[in-house]
Structure 1
């Protein structure tokens, strides 16, 4: 096993807002609180310790014990749940949808990054306890985002009627999915493990939340991971003051809208708030709450409330009120003694819209940490890269640029068009100085001639590249096939593949290798050669 770290910037797959955040650029600083380094965690611990109440800890522990009933709980996870009662215990949290059989590979990277960060913080702050949390997105209702996973280039799909919070979905119909998936796995020891994990998860549990808890627990409980379901009446009871404030004052809309005005001066906005950022949850629906003509309405239903009625409903039926993407982060921070949220670039981007909202409701804004990203390269692929003289950083180049670079390197014709273009531009600089002493028409003529000459050289460069690529067809095909194999659809494989492909080949050694390799506070992209 060989581990290489490269800057996120070198991959070309991360947004400007994330790259600026990692570099702590001045333009992004107003939108976060403490940065994810040891100094930032020191400040965050002090801030959270002052604000999080003992009573909330006791409610959280009781809720977790209820949620884990009927599950095998590891000693480490059991200890971590009990430790949450202590005022010197804090959480580090990641969240993920209830994707079928964990969905894309980065599910593993999120959770292992969270576990590793807790271990590192325990070393740096021995007087505190740190507990890893996986927040299951049980209240999401976009079923099409989670009803499949990719295996060996094929989509394994679960078809069923859509409607309501996905965590409450029955697992009925997944036996047929199991039969299809099993056919592709074979009969090796690792294949049998995957079959059992799928079967016991989905065919022995009645809803998607329990099935997902079982699978995540089987994979990570030895590390003390706590799996949390926010669709819980006792936990939502803690959130009722915020829910009432939202219904009466539309606080999140006002605060986030104000932040967006400043944020969009430099960055693309990830999500926009609604006037009320809450859903109403029924047995088979999750619909927006809308305030119109003095009445609270549940969209696409006949359910309505007066102000007094809806506030009473919050007290009597808190589980019916479900925060959307704007309010879910706040719900998390209200019920957890949380220091840090780990997520992908898209998640971080919408969190960066929320700092002023947290300040408005007097809840500490957590540290935001871009999760570890990993590219796995097999020993065979590494040898091919070496033979083709492609470095690990070059692997992430746009395919056209990669092919151009390697074809030129391998060409017997050595013409550096970039140097010639630069030389030409330098000559025209001198002409422009002369032109300034004449009239505007001559200046324009010089500029036009420069563009024409540069364009001519660029066209010659393209024609030479095209001819060389045709002449070096074998090299072009080998590079194209290899890059497409490592980066399917010219994208990071972590967004395309499922962990089962690697588990089938490497078994538990795969997750162990990831556990050893991921360094969340290094803030770099990981390449793992197996």
Structure 2
């Protein structure tokens, strides 16, 4: 069963996302295509006019996949990328260990579903779903843990630099903990086997993530792109060189940021140079000081000549930050649409003018689907309590208070008393004015104190009444905590594994069925 609630009514999305979906006039100039009624024909046309390096892309992908078990759908999609009538739909995410958050699955499956939908609309074209792996991210604190069955499992390693390049040492113990947590669920053993194969039989995290994602989603034809590749980076050298020597992006994006920041909190501020220097164990910012370029927190320095030599010899050592990453993706893929979360949407809105400067097509930017997965037991509890799933999006104590007010026989809301106080003090204020005008301020102060006293009494009445509904309010809190762990959206906290352990690949199929590739509605799916 599916229910829907507008994103703006969930209370879990910021104003930028809500305005983006509503195409508010103040945000509309910062992106090209409507996020709810996109003109895919125009996006296809724009992409056709761009010289995508298809042969180099396919060669890099074939090399990347050569040690993996071939999956017919993936092999065919990679080969199809050579054809001018093939386009991609892309989502991006870092290589969080064991995929990280539940929404990782949603992003990928939404990408798959949008490709199928586009094929129906435009049968003369072929559409390939792509997961672009942000393997050069160095935020280990974010990428190195998962939340499973109410417990955070963290990977403790002293490695530094890009997480994708880190060796998966120490993950065997974490896989053991996952095995205990999943118990004897029907598909737990096969899932553990996939994790062991991915993380214990590969040299680094990006190879492990590629293996795992390929095993889980290959049947849908998903192509994984690992951009930490010298041949792919070489395709981006003109932009990298321009960034190092002319620092164009800072001026362009900063101008956009100034306009956008009038209305919204800015997601990412551009730096003078939006590149990192990347080696094993190292990912540090590049800065220019006079006639030299330095890698922060190291002794590495370059002159203009030696920097040019380094670019030609090792393009893979130059890693774009969030300002330049998206354009790299769009330069090497024949991409027409990008699916991202709220934070990703926020920084993509900063980039349209930068894309225009380099004459790279700006894609359709879509908000990823958000889902709440509920179970039959929770639905039964809610039915007994007389509360709806959509009510659960409110703060817990608001749900409890509303429940008590609906079911009590006592008058907990002191509306009449408030009105009586206001009426009394209106009369007192008139009398004070007739006696001495300076007494009016004192009367107003006493009015405020009296209203506060009534408010305190109202709160005490409600608190006392809640004790009569202890069982019901405990049930409400239990359901809320189960479906919104730690007060967060389920998808931003939980991992996919408990569901997969129970249902196996059928879990992905039911999620795929529930998804709506282009929407402004939050999806609630109940498994009966």
Q: TM-score range by the shorter chain?
A: over 0.9
2 CA distance for matches of 1:72 and 1:5?
Answer: 39
Q: Where do residues 286-297 of structure 1 align in structure 2 (5 Å cutoff)?
A: 286-297=283-294
Say whether the 8 Å CA contact 2:292–2:302 is kept in structure 1: yes
2 CA distance for matches of 1:327 and 1:425?
Answer: 60
CA change 1:421–1:324 in 2 (3 A) is farther
In the TM superposition, what is the alpha-carbon distance from 1:518 to its structure 2 partner? 0.6
Q: Secondary structure at the match of 1:156?
A: strand
Partner of 1:206: 203
Please state if 1:463 is matched with 2:463.
no
Instruction: Output one character per residue of 1:18-67: Cα deviation in whole Å (capped at 9) or x when no partner.
Output: 0111111111112111113454222212222212x15x011111111111
Say whether the 8 Å CA contact 1:60–1:235 is kept in structure 2: yes
Partner of 1:42: 41
Partner of 1:185: 182
Q: Where do residues 320-399 of structure 1 align in structure 2 (5 Å cutoff)?
A: 320-399=317-396
In the TM superposition, what is the alpha-carbon distance from 1:284 to its structure 2 partner? 2.0
Instruction: Output one character per residue of 1:104-143: Cα deviation in whole Å (capped at 9) or x when no partner.
Output: 1111011011111111111122222211110111111112
In the TM superposition, what is the alpha-carbon distance from 1:10 to its structure 2 partner? 2.0
CA change 1:93–1:427 in 2 (3 A) is farther
CA change 1:294–1:184 in 2 (3 A) is same
CA change 1:456–1:30 in 2 (3 A) is farther
2 CA distance for matches of 1:9 and 1:344?
Answer: 15
Which of 206, 220, 223 is the matching residue for 2:220? 223
Say whether the 8 Å CA contact 1:143–1:162 is kept in structure 2: no
**TM-score (norm: length of structure 1):** 0.93
Partner of 1:404: 401
Instruction: Output one character per residue of 1:166-218: Cα deviation in whole Å (capped at 9) or x when no partner.
Output: 22212233222223322333344311111111111111112111110111111
RMSD in angstroms over aligned alpha carbons? 2.7
2 CA distance for matches of 1:78 and 1:510?
Answer: 24
Q: Secondary structure at the match of 1:522?
A: coil
Q: Secondary structure at the match of 1:94?
A: strand
Please state if 1:281 is matched with 2:278.
yes
2 CA distance for matches of 1:404 and 1:188?
Answer: 38
In the TM superposition, what is the alpha-carbon distance from 1:459 to its structure 2 partner? 3.1
1 CA distance for matches of 2:485 and 2:121?
Answer: 39
Partner of 2:118: 121
Unaligned runs of 5+ residues in structure 2 are: none
Which of 462, 476, 484 is the matching residue for 1:487? 484
1 CA distance for matches of 2:415 and 2:229?
Answer: 62
Q: Where do residues 426-505 of structure 1 align in structure 2 (5 Å cutoff)?
A: 451=448, 454-505=451-502
Which of 285, 298, 302 is the matching residue for 1:305? 302
1 CA distance for matches of 2:451 and 2:74?
Answer: 65
Partner of 1:413: 410
CA change 1:27–1:419 in 2 (3 A) is farther
Partner of 1:239: 236
Partner of 1:156: 153
Q: Secondary structure at the match of 2:89?
A: strand
Please state if 1:254 is matched with 2:242.
no
1 CA distance for matches of 2:136 and 2:374?
Answer: 36
**TM-score (norm: length of structure 2):** 0.93
Q: Secondary structure at the match of 1:26?
A: coil
CA change 1:417–1:255 in 2 (3 A) is farther
Say whether the 8 Å CA contact 1:10–1:393 is kept in structure 2: no
2 CA distance for matches of 1:12 and 1:520?
Answer: 22
Partner of 2:269: 272
Say whether the 8 Å CA contact 2:17–2:342 is kept in structure 1: yes
Instruction: Output one character per residue of 1:402-431: Cα deviation in whole Å (capped at 9) or x when no partner.
Output: 111011011112455468768988999999
Q: Secondary structure at the match of 1:326?
A: helix
Which of 165, 168, 171 is the matching residue for 1:171? 168
2 CA distance for matches of 1:319 and 1:285?
Answer: 13
Structure 1, 227-236 or 172-181: larger mean CA deviation: 172-181
Instruction: Output one character per residue of 1:59-110: Cα deviation in whole Å (capped at 9) or x when no partner.
Output: 1111111111111232111111111112222111111111111111111011
Please state if 1:99 is matched with 2:100.
no
Say whether the 8 Å CA contact 2:274–2:324 is kept in structure 1: yes
In the TM superposition, what is the alpha-carbon distance from 1:387 to its structure 2 partner? 0.8
Structure 1, 285-294 or 164-173: larger mean CA deviation: 164-173
Say whether the 8 Å CA contact 2:167–2:204 is kept in structure 1: yes
Q: Secondary structure at the match of 1:206?
A: coil
2 CA distance for matches of 1:493 and 1:93?
Answer: 24
1 CA distance for matches of 2:455 and 2:119?
Answer: 56
Say whether the 8 Å CA contact 1:74–1:222 is kept in structure 2: yes
Q: Secondary structure at the match of 1:372?
A: coil
Partner of 2:26: 27
Q: Secondary structure at the match of 1:494?
A: helix
Structure 1, 210-219 or 410-419: larger mean CA deviation: 410-419
